[in-house]
Structure formats: structure tokens, C-alpha cells
Structure 1
């Protein structure tokens, strides 16, 4: 449970920014700090939902990604690219999941240097249970109607402008 503060520390930080003459940066600072705090609050709820299943969000993401594949397997390099985290982090996550019997590594059938990650039956059962727990969190975030879509739209625009992704090419390609 989050301890409710009597004063919004982000509003106070903005007041201080303005008092120090940093007006041009005050809204940006407030936006960044608000996003960081929102992430902390969201992760606290996610962690509480996953803790009984002995999963972190990173382990859940890897399991869910494997479960979404047709055969429950993916090359390790593809997992690194899709999760957008450092290879060392993915390797650490895979080691923990393998130790728990939720995934296994197999040699890649055509590339002797690569490994495949394979979802086990126990891993599929655990990720399905975790997804149910997280869907309860996702279904009631506390936003008003339409706020979630608007927030995602705004953040997507920020991400696109920051170079995180490109809009898809028009289909069919122009002549």
C-alpha cells in the first residue's frame, strides 16, 4: 500500500523550479518526474500481483513473449531485440527461469553459435496464471474513461519523436 502524502512533492518541485527562474524547464521536469512516479506506482501493483507466483515483471515479459509465439520457442537474440533490454539482463532472466524449470535452452537447429529459448509446460502454466493476476491490475488502473487511450497516444508520440519506433510504411507502398 502506498503511503498517501499530504502535499504533492512533484507540485512542490515545480514551485521550486519556478522560484529559481527555471521556467522554461519546469513543465518538462514535472512531466519526467510524473512519468517516473507513475512507473513506480504501477510497478508496485505489478510486483504485488506477481510476487505470489515467484515472478518479476522481467521474467513475466519473457515468459509471455514465448507463450505468444506459435511454438513456444524463440532465438535468444530475438528475445533480446524484442524486449529492448541489454543481453546480460535477458541472460540473467533466462538463467533464473531455467533454474525454476519454466524455460529451457536448446541448440539452434541451423546456427551452432545461437541458442533457442523454449517455454516448458510449467512455464506456460505459470505465465497463464500470472497473466490472469496482471489482467486484474490492468483492468482497474484508476483512470477515467478514455484516459488510458489518450495517455498511450501521447506517450507513443513522445516515443516516436524520441526515435523509439517509426510509423509503419503505407500499404501498399507508394508507386
Structure 2
């Protein structure tokens, strides 16, 4: 991390947009930029927390998803859908997790084309430990107030619904 800047660079983005005559786009440009910067900050924190587990956040999401499933297994295409990632991305994450002994690929019981992802005992242990540390060091210390979290969850869910991410 670098030291804090004397001015908010995203506020400067908004001013630059206004100066160039893009007044109606100025505030939305600042909002989009702020959301993306916030994502970078939070992802950077998560990656640092997960480094001792030799996990990226993307790989953590896979083992976390499996750990929450009743049988600690699910079809790979379902995991890809639930994590909202391209099949290539889940394949890359699973390759790494399998090499680390955290998940196994197994044939599906009834669909020969499908692959099941199965959480190993070591994967379950790492998922539990990593979740505990993420809860303590990131999720319970985001830097947002409880009210801000509630507002953000509502605002972002409304946006995601309008964008076609899900339906209620």
C-alpha cells in the first residue's frame, strides 16, 4: 500500500468529467470508479489474508462453496453458475485446488458428461481455517458501518437485479 493521497483522485475524476462537458456522466463515472477501486482494496486484503493458505480469493470461493454444500460435492458446471464465473475460470481454479489436494474431480453418478467437484478432508480443514481468518480480519472489519453495509447490500442487490444477475 502507498501512503494516502492528499486529494481524493476519484473526486478529481468527477471534476474532470464536468470540465470536459460530460456533466450528466460525471457523478456516475465517479461512482463506477469508486466501486472498482473499493473492489481492488477489498480483494487485496482478502488475497493477503489467504496467502498463508496458498489460496487466491477465487480458489477460496470454490472450496467455500463446496464446504457449504450438504454432501461437500457438486457438479462443476453448477459451481461455475453459482460463482458466476466462466467455465474456463473454474477449471483453472480447480486445477490448482486439485494439485494442492483440496478437491478431487470425480465422474458424475448419472451424467457421464458431467464432472463432480468433491472437497477433500484437507480441503474442508483449509476452508474452515481460511473462513475463520477472513471473518475475523476482513468480513467483520470491512471499514463500513453496519448501516452502510445494509445500504450497500440493498443498493448493489437492486443494481444486480436490474442488470439481470438474478430475479426475485
TM-score normalised by length of structure 1: 0.93
Rounded to whole Å, the distance in 1 between the matches of 2:130 and 2:114 is 29
Deviation at 1:144, TM superposition (A): 2.4
Q: From the CA coordinates, give the structure whose radius of gyration is larger.
A: 1
2:59 match: 59
Rounded to whole Å, the distance in 2 between the matches of 1:153 and 1:145 is 12
Deviation at 1:141, TM superposition (A): 1.0
Q: How many residues align?
A: 167
Structure 1 residue matching 2:105: 3-state secondary structure: strand
Rounded to whole Å, the distance in 2 between the matches of 1:100 and 1:53 is 10
Q: Does the alignment pair 1:155 with 2:156?
A: yes
Which has more helix, going by share of residues?
A: 2
Rounded to whole Å, the distance in 2 between the matches of 1:118 and 1:145 is 36
Rounded to whole Å, the distance in 1 between the matches of 2:2 and 2:58 is 22
In structure 2, the gaps of 5 or more residues are none
**Which stretches of structure 1, 4 residues or more, deviate above 2 A after TM superposition?**
none
RMSD between aligned residues: 0.9
2:40 match: 40
In structure 1, the gaps of 5 or more residues are 168-175
2:19 match: 19
1:126 match: 126
Structure 1 residue matching 2:35: 3-state secondary structure: helix
Deviation at 1:161, TM superposition (A): 1.2
